[in-house]
Every structure is written in structure tokens, then in C-alpha cells.
A = this chain, B = another copy of it.
């Protein structure tokens, strides 16, 4: 069974971009982007539907659990996007220290090009739902764990002991999160670049 397709898509089929994507996917993507920029409480379901060019009925058809269920799906989508970027950065260099620097450069570029609005896809939602929406918090925790594993594997490949790699990977993700937050608030890529330099220096002390 194929993923949900737009049954009666009134828009012309020749148009590219989101039009070729199923309704459910468009809703998830719009939700992920809005949650990333405005957080959970700042984002309304009607706004998500409008951005996704879907109707409220479709949203509740695909996500009968309402806003929370949609938010969980959006967080998972953001997790994948962020993981893709991490993978790309980590693959840029054999040396783990240089690879982490590549990650910070990627993040800095993305952030600047979005005028400092597109930071970590889960941070805003995570912070304002902590302790009040267990499903969402769990999805955020899984995202962080997944990202940490990506970094940890790279550090292991670089020759670090597994225990060391795991702890250092956790600290790396924490630092990237904080540096991205700081960069957004200060509207500068310097915090991300500084984080990259210092993470590289730190990793080298273990090599």
C-alpha cells in the first residue's frame, strides 16, 4: 500500500514542489516548519492547515489525536531533517574533529540563510512542553538520542573508546543546541563557529 496520495487534487498535476506530495506529508512538513519557528503554543492548527494548503477536516482526518499527535509527527520529521544535515556534515571529513566543525558550518549557513529563524527543529517545542506533554517530550528525547548516536559512531570510527565517544557525543549535541540557540538570539554565526572550534579542540585531546 502506497503512502497516502492526493485523491482529488484540484491543483494542476504539472506543478512541482509540494503539489506532488500527499496531503498528510504536506501537513507534517508545514507543522514541522512552524513548530521550529514559533513553538508549540505559538502555532495554531488552522495556520498549519493554511500553510499546508489543506483543510481542517484533513488535519483531523490524518491526526485524530489532535494537535499533540500532529506535533509528535512533526518532531519526528524534524528529527530526520536534522539527522540528514548531521550525517552530511559528519561525512565531510574523516577526522571527527574536522567533521564536527563541518557540522557547525552547515548549521551556521542554514541559520543565516533563513535570517536566523530556522534553528533546531525541536528545541522550541521541547522547552515549552517539558513536563506538560509527555508524548511530545518523549519524541524530543528520542530525537536527541538519535543525533547523539550519529556523533558517537563517528567518534568511534575515529578511534575513540566507546565510553568516551558516547559521553563526548552527548556533550557535542548539547553544545550544538546551545550554540544554535545563542546564534539565533544574537543574530550571529559566531557562537556556532566558536562552538565548532572548541569542540574540535576538545575532541583532539582524546585522540
Contact = CB atoms under 8 A, between A and B. Distances in A.
Given A41-B42, A42-B40, A174-B175, A127 B194 contact: no
A34 to B, nearest CB: 11
Nearest to A178: B178
A158 to B, nearest CB: 16
A7 to B, nearest CB: 35
A168 interface: yes
B185 A181 contact: no
Interface string A160-198: 000000011011011111110110111100110011011
Interface stretch (A47-55, A60-68, A116-124): A116-124
A190 B170 contact: yes
Q: How many copies does the complex hold?
A: 2
Interface string A122-146: 0110111011100001001100110
A42 B178 contact: no
A182 B173 contact: yes
Contact of A175 (B119, B137, B167, B171): B171
Interface in A53-100: none
Contacts of A173: 178, 182
A177 B170 CA distance: 14
Q: In this complex, which of A119, A126, A145 has the most chain B Cβ atoms within 10 angstroms of its Cβ? A: A126
A18 interface: no
A101 B178 CA distance: 17
Contact of A182 (B132, B177, B179, B191): B177
A14 interface: no
17 contacts: A38-B41, A39-B39, A39-B124, A39-B128, A40-B42, A117-B131, A119-B127, A126-B181, A144-B185, A170-B190, A171-B191, A171-B197, A174-B191, A175-B179, A177-B178, A178-B178, A198-B202
